Amino acid sequence: MGICKTTSRPHIIVVVADDLGWNDVSFHGSSQIPTPNIDSLAYRGIILNNYYVSPLCTPTRGALMSGLHPIHTGLHSGVIRGAQPNGLPLNITIMPQRLRNLGYRTHIVGKWHLGSFKSEYTPTYRGFETFTGYYNSHGDYYDHTYEDSEGFFGYDFRSNVSLDYTAIGQYSTTLFTERAVDIVKQHNREEPLFLYLPYQAVHTGNVPSGNPLQAPSAYINRHPHIRSAERRHYAGMVAALDDGVADVVDALKTRDMYKDSIILFTTDNGGSSNGYMEGAGNNFPLRGMKNTLWEGGVRGVAFINSPLLDTTGYVSENLIHVCDWLPTLYSAAGGDPTDLGDTDGLDIWKMLSTNGEPVRNEILHNLEPYGSTGAIRVGDYKLVVLHNDATDMANWYPPYHTLDDSTKLHFSKFETGAAMFHLFLRDISRRKTTGKCRHCPISVECGQKYDYYRFNNNEVDRINLFHIPSDPCNRTADTSSNPKLHGGAWVPWLD
């Protein structure tokens, strides 16, 4: 395996983008937002085309840190808000603690969002030596205030356990990048480094009193071709993230650490589309968005890049779940995954390194027993079960932000004609489905019959079965293929 190429344990850098949509990176074919630095790493690594996360921030982050599915940590329903007395359970040993046992130096820079109502739940009590960032879900990118609701507002930026007011006025993406680069520069190369870099970008800022889409003007001005102010500002946020990733990689190369590094890049969930949470992200041609169990909510943008991998420059179509990263990275670090005890994650390091056969055949996306809502992927099929009132946000949202604000109104009312379809879908035919391509976009192909995309879908069934390889965009539910679906025999939580 690739890990034998170095005599020391590899440096591990995990970068998490917040609410980054499927169609917000150019290696997935975005014609609006170029991401050359992220693309370069993806093409020279392994693009994960069948990779799944949870539909919201907290569940994904908990699974990443613990190797456990959110239904086994109690974090599967919603997110942690403000001073809510909830967090990733303290009896779970998480990734930085596991890696410290292998001799790693551990640092977190960015968003935590796994509990802060007691100090024991915060990062420096959970295995991280240092923490620069914020505890909650979002905030203003410049003044770092957090607005949860009208009655809950305050400053949320910390250095370790102390409030750090020196951050005021500094753009968070730049601030986090500079701190990450500084950690790399000061690191003793003889010791393995674990750098967890969960950026604030590209989550919206404070809503409604704040400015939800924030980026320095230099980044916004890179995208004059985007006529919508919201999408243009959002593109600036993505560009700042792209430059930040490049700066961290450059620092690793300058210190001669990159050759012994593993870099994982992942989103935490799908993008906030169609103005949801005042966002301007996009998941097209996938259906749905953040906070849904459709592919647009849970099929994540991700790649892994490392000189320690034996085989790179390919697109993996094998099923991968976010909870797989703990046993995988622990294994790559030379640890024995059996030491982790019972986890829901699987060790996929050898599979990735050799472009081998799949090790996972099933993913439970989520199970909400109180709302009778859930989704599961088994082999090529995905079952989506909805509560009677959970059919909203089940549509396809093209990158309509190409238009000016007055034209965009037509889309907010779902008043869409065939001519407009072609305006937004003109580039879909150029996208590739799979392959070993270093220099072409990798996305999903949903066919050329654009009339399949119904923006106002009033015919969503409570039980929906999809064949993902042939229908990754969830165009056609098939409940007739197995009568058991109608009786709920496959989904006992329906009762």
* Average pLDDT value for residue range 195-200: 98
Task: Tell me the pLDDT band of 390, cut-offs 50, 70 and 90.
Answer: low
Q: Which CATH number fits domain 2-358: 3.30.310.50, 3.40.720.10, 3.30.365.10, 1.10.10.10?
A: 3.40.720.10
- Which pLDDT score is estimated for 377? 96
Cis peptide bond prior to 96, omega within 30° of 0: no
440 has catalytic annotation: no
Percent of the chain with pLDDT over 70: 81
Q: Is the pLDDT of residue 254 over 50?
A: yes
Task: Tell me the pLDDT band of 242, cut-offs 50, 70 and 90.
Answer: very high
> Could you tell me the two tokens for 247?
């700066």
Give the SS3 label for residue 51.
strand
Q: Is the pLDDT of residue 259 over 50?
A: yes
Phi-psi region of 395 (alpha: psi -120 to 50; beta: other; left: phi over 0): beta
Cis peptide bond prior to 55, omega within 30° of 0: no
Task: Tell me the pLDDT band of 296, cut-offs 50, 70 and 90.
Answer: very high
pTM metric for this prediction: 0.89
Locate CATH 3.40.720.10 in the chain: 2-358
Q: Which entry of 113, 203, 223, 321 is annotated as an active-site residue? A: 113
Is residue 25 within 8 Å of 302, Cβ to Cβ?
no
Rounded Cα gap, residues 295 and 289, in angstroms: 8
- Which pLDDT score is estimated for 412? 30
- Which pLDDT score is estimated for 397? 82
Nearest CA to 266 among 209, 211, 328, 309?
328
- What is the tens place of the pLDDT at every residue in 104-116? 999 999 999 999 9
- Which pLDDT score is estimated for 347? 98
Q: Is the pLDDT of residue 411 over 90?
A: no
Q: Is the pLDDT of residue 493 over 70?
A: no
Rounded Cα gap, residues 220 and 237, in angstroms: 8
308 burial via Cβ count (<10 Å: 0-12, 13-18, 19+): buried
Position with higher pLDDT, 431 vs 185: 185
- What is the tens place of the pLDDT at every residue in 127-154? 999 999 999 999 999 999 999 876 788 9
Task: For 104-142, give the DSSP string.
Answer: -EEEEEEE--S--SSGGGSGGGTT-SEEEEESSS---TT
- Which pLDDT score is estimated for 394? 80
- What is the tens place of the pLDDT at every residue in 61-77? 999 999 999 999 999 98
- Which pLDDT score is estimated for 444? 79
Task: Tell me the pLDDT band of 480, cut-offs 50, 70 and 90.
Answer: low
Q: Which entry of 57, 323, 446, 473 is annotated as an active-site residue? A: 57
Task: Tell me the pLDDT band of 391, cut-offs 50, 70 and 90.
Answer: low
- Which pLDDT score is estimated for 31? 82
For 266, phi and psi rounded to 5 degrees? -150, 150
57 has catalytic annotation: yes
> Could you tell me the two tokens for 206?
């404070």
* Average pLDDT value for residue range 166-179: 98
